[in-house]
Amino acid sequence: MKLLIVQTGFLGDVVLSTPVITALRKVFPDATISVLTTPQGAELLASCPETHPYLDKILSFDKRGSQSGLRGLREMSLKLA
């Protein structure tokens, strides 16, 4: 099973969503857990892997920069498929 947590809000929202990762790992121990977040959120999560050992993948989505608009959303959705 693959699980995707989408958190493209502010950095504080990314931090507050980390307990969800732990809870999902407890319920689904064999799942692949990924997070789709902003470049800043991805950098934050990647900077301390020991704090988030239950994450398998961190995906960056720059919704306000190079991946903005419908084109960027479409490109990201194709990567996720």
| pLDDT tens digits for range 17-47 | 889 999 999 999 999 999 988 899 999 888 8
**Residue 50 pLDDT more than 70?**
no
Pairing, β 57-60 against β 32-37? parallel
**Residue 62 pLDDT more than 90?**
no
Check if the beta carbon of residue 2 is closer than 8 Å to that of residue 34.
Answer: yes
The two tokens of residue 53 are 């050992």
Mean pLDDT of 55-62: 87
